[in-house]
Amino acid sequence: MEVLVYLVPLALILGFLGLLGFLWSLRSGQYDDLDGAAWRAIADDEPVEGSPRS
Amino acid sequence: MSTTLDFSHYLKPAGDDRLHLDLAVEGISCAGCMAKIERNLSNIPDVTSARVNLTDRRLALEWKAGALDPALFVDRLAELGYKAYPFERAQAETVEADRASALLRRLGVAAFAAMNVMMLSIPVWSGNVSDMLPEQRDFFHWLSALIVLPAAAYSAQPFFASAWTALRARGVNMDVPISIGIFLALATSIVETANHADHAYFDAAIMLIAFLLAGRYLDQNMRRRTRAFAGNLAALKAETATKFVSEHEIRTVPAATIRPGDIVLLRPGERSAVDGNVIEGRSEIDQSLITGETLPIVAEPGTAVFAGSLVRSGTLRVRAAAASEETLLAEISRLLENALQSRSHYLRLAERASRLYAPVVHATAFLTMLGWLAYGATFHDSIVTAIAVLIITCPCALGLAIPAVQTVASGALFGSGVLLNAGDAIERIAQVDRVIFDKTGTLTLPELDVANLASIPADVVNLAGRLALSSRHPVAAAVARAAGANAPLPGIEEEPGQGVRGLLDGQEIRLGRPSYCGAEALAAEILSRDPEASVAAFRHGDMVHVFAVRQRLRPDAAAVIASLQRQGIAIEIVSGDREAAVRSAAQTLGIHEWRAEVSPVDKIARIEALVRQGSKVLMVGDGLNDAPALAAAHASMSPVSATHMSQAVADAVFLGERLEPVATAIEVSRKALRLMKQNLWLAVVYNLLAVPIAIAGLVTPLIAAAAMSGSSLLVMLNALRARRMREVG
């Protein structure tokens, strides 16, 4: 059971990192436009700079 | 036009010598539009970022300061087929958005804490029935405390704050039992952990907080969306005013920047964006949006002009005045204030439920403790059992039951063109048994329409429509709209106050007053049949025709009224317009109760009389004269074309040409109220099952966790049924 000494803190640190990631994503506005984000994921890639396309 | 919109009011510095502009864009409806707009605008040199927000239908632009004229963006969007309007976030919207994002942050913290505590709780639950050492269990409990206490202290603040406010006002709301439950669960768990006990409720407490925050966030997010959409509508209406910046120079500026004392130019076809007094010029003005009266009045120097008045024939210079100086506005404001003050505070369903709920739950817990003491249990065990009762009854389901339905129902309403202003609007609209309609602008459309189109040959209509494009008179605009004209004729002259004329194949064509076209006899005949109409005469050589232009009923008004009457809802018209106009509308729509020439005071009096009879009235109106009645009624709705003051006091605003949203709102609200009550009953049944287990002292943290998530899921799923309401309805 000594393994708990490593595993429990490790799990908590990972959880805490996840929380920090969430707070960062919230702060950087990634939850401001959920409808748009849903579509951006499947949108075509950005065209190459200057390529003619309408 | 000679003047372009002055954007400086909307530009914001964005650091690094860049400027930022927000545009509300009409017509963004799909992912394709989003990609097209972003690609085209970011291709402009010196634009550093162009990002569409598809949820709010907005575009945020940043570019190098001084390099570009903002009007370029609007033009480029117009080329792509989108109308864009500069836009400024209203204070109210910013507040709602900040609240939503704060709730999401708290929800995130609570959810992460709940997940990590579960990781520690599951070993304890399984360890309790197998071979976990007491030291290991204590270690896990302390770790849980380490996670939950700070997380709860941060994320449960909205509940504590709201409960504290309610208690200070000597009231009880749902947050009082919630806060007591959370607080006691945490306190017991700490004491129990210190005493090396088997059970601690850290996981239950933080899970409860996370579930409740999810409900609050959904609610708040819907509110934020409605506000954002209302903000777009305000921008799309593009309230601008033409202001004299010096004696001879005019500039188009946002209406919000006009100050009392500024002088504003009003041209034919424009709606005034300000209140003020005419100082120069003479024109007929249409005040129907203010008084409900459809016949135009003459404005001369000294006449008071209100925001929303439509200028028909001449050009006016108006000195903007502060609202309180005007007699009509002052009277309306005073009535409105009285109505808002005497509006009996409506007791929400949730408040009524929690008034019953809190004493019952707290009494049950207290009796449980006394019962166990009498039965001979130790003081410690009795208290722990009593607290288990409080935890298991903690209104997880109850706290979600109503917000979840509200969120789903307001989403359904949003989809059918109804924007809710007030959170409890759904409950109140569901209860109405009588609808009072204003006539002008509510049952009728705000824009004029040609009434006798069928009796005029199509080629004449077509020609007159093309000729009408050269005039800005609202009656001419109605002819042009009815003809669907889009190709103006060349070489047309306008004679102010008379009409427009030109030459076609060597023959003179004219459109304007009957006297201008020599059509007095024909016009008099049409007016004798339809006294409500305004007329525009058309002459081509010797041929003369007269267009009768009037306000038209909303296309589906008759059907909507009939369907409301079938549902047993009483309908009546209370209008400020003349008797003949109101009678003809009432007869067409099959409404037996109507009142004409009603002043704002009498509108309120009528509503108060109905309230005394025990009737619950839904007032639907748009004019400035309706605002006090909207505030006095049990529930109220306004079309989106209504004056600012009416829209601000109405519980809901509906979009579009049709009247159907009013019927939809009543129907959806009634179904939503039924679902809310169902959800409350589900919560009661859950408590009836769970409380005896808790009283018996058999509740373990595992049972508490399972029961709470189970009941929350159940009410959430039931609330989702509100989504199907639109298709059924």
Domain boundary among B498, B526, B553: B553
How many angstroms separate the CA of residue B2 from the nearest CA in chain A?
32
Q: Residues B527, B573: one domain?
A: no
Neighbours of B727 (CB within 10 A): 7
H helix or E strand, kind and range, residue B635? strand B635-639
Q: Residues B482, B536: one domain?
A: yes
- B341 lies in some domain: no
Query: How far, rounded to the nearest angstrom, does the alpha carbon of residue B499 sit from its chain's CA centroid?
Result: 41
Q: Give the CB-side neighbour count of residue B80, counting CA atoms within 13 A.
A: 24
C-alpha span between B197 and B194 (Å, rounded):
8
pLDDT for the residue numbered B517: 87
C-alpha span between B387 and B380 (Å, rounded):
11
- B395 lies in some domain: yes
C-alpha span between B475 and B495 (Å, rounded):
15
User: pLDDT tens digit string along B80-115?
Assistant: 888 888 877 777 788 888 999 999 999 999 999 999
pLDDT for the residue numbered B657: 86
Instruction: Give CA separation, B257 vs B10, B222, B567, in Å.
Output: 11, 30, 47
Strands of B543-553's sheet, edge to edge?
A: B444-450, B543-553, B534-540, B507-512, B499-504, B493-495
Among candidate residues B607, B632, B637, B633, the one with its CA nearest the CA of residue B622: B637
A49 at B interface, C-beta within 8 A: no
pLDDT for the residue numbered B5: 65
The predicted complex's ipTM stands at: 0.83
Nearest CB partner across the interface for A36, out of B55, B143, B147: B55
Domain boundary among B553, B574, B603: B553
Average pLDDT, chain B: 85
* φ, ψ dihedrals at B655, nearest 5°: -105, 160
pLDDT level of residue B262 (50, 70, 90 thresholds): confident
Q: Which domain, by its residues, includes B651?
A: 418-433+556-655
Question: Angle at CA B228, nearest 5°, toward B623 and B100?
Answer: 130
User: pLDDT tens digit string along B194-251?
Assistant: 988 888 889 888 988 998 898 888 888 877 887 888 788 777 766 778 888 888 888 8
Nearest CB partner across the interface for B105, out of A15, A23, A36: A23
Question: What amino acid positions of B are annotated as catalytic residues?
Answer: 438
Most B-contacting residue of A1, A33, A44, A53 (CB-CB within 10 A), to test interface: A33
Q: Residues B479, B424: one domain?
A: no
pLDDT level of residue A51 (50, 70, 90 thresholds): very low
pLDDT for the residue numbered B336: 80
Q: Residues B516, B527: one domain?
A: yes
Q: Give the CB-side neighbour count of residue B475, counting CA atoms within 13 A.
A: 28
Q: Residues B201, B132: one domain?
A: yes
pLDDT for the residue numbered B727: 47
pLDDT for the residue numbered B489: 84
Percent of chain B with pLDDT over 70: 96
The set of residues, in sequence order, having a beta carbon less than 8 Å from that of B376 and lying 6+ positions away, is: none
Contact criterion met (CB < 8 Å) for A43 and B116: no
pLDDT for the residue numbered B112: 93
Task: Determine the average pLDDT of the residues in B35-46.
Answer: 87
Tokens of residue B224, six digits: 């934020």
CB contacts of A35 in chain B (<8 Å) are: 54-55
Q: What 8-state DSSP symbol labels residue B438?
A: -
Contact criterion met (CB < 8 Å) for A19 and B39: no
Find out whether B626 and B636 touch, Cβ atoms under 8 Å: no
Instruction: Give CA separation, B430 vs B425, B426, B434, in Å.
Output: 8, 6, 11
Q: Residues B132, B52: one domain?
A: no
- Residue B324: pLDDT over 70: no
pLDDT level of residue B565 (50, 70, 90 thresholds): very high
pLDDT level of residue B3 (50, 70, 90 thresholds): very low
pLDDT for the residue numbered B323: 54
CATH code for the domain of B524? 3.40.1110.10
Q: Are strands B12-13 and B18-26 parallel, antiparallel or unpaired?
A: antiparallel
Task: Determine the average pLDDT of the residues in B332-355.
Answer: 75
Helix segments in B484-637, DSSP class H: 514-517, 520-529, 557-566, 579-589, 600-612, 627-632
C-alpha span between B399 and B178 (Å, rounded):
8
Q: Residues B508, B490: one domain?
A: yes
Contact criterion met (CB < 8 Å) for A12 and B109: no
User: pLDDT tens digit string along B154-169?
Assistant: 999 999 998 999 889 8
Q: Strands, DSSP E only, in B27-177? A: 47-53, 58-64, 83-86
pLDDT for the residue numbered B84: 85
Contact criterion met (CB < 8 Å) for A15 and B115: yes
Strand partners, B240: B254
Domains identified in chain B, total number: 5
Q: Residues B213, B163: one domain?
A: yes
Q: Strands, DSSP E only, in B11-127? A: 12-13, 18-26, 47-53, 58-64, 83-86
Nearest CB partner across the interface for B53, out of A23, A36, A42: A36
Domain boundary among B533, B553, B573: B553
C-alpha span between B478 and B446 (Å, rounded):
11
Q: Residues B316, B301: one domain?
A: yes
CATH code for the domain of B247? 2.70.150.10
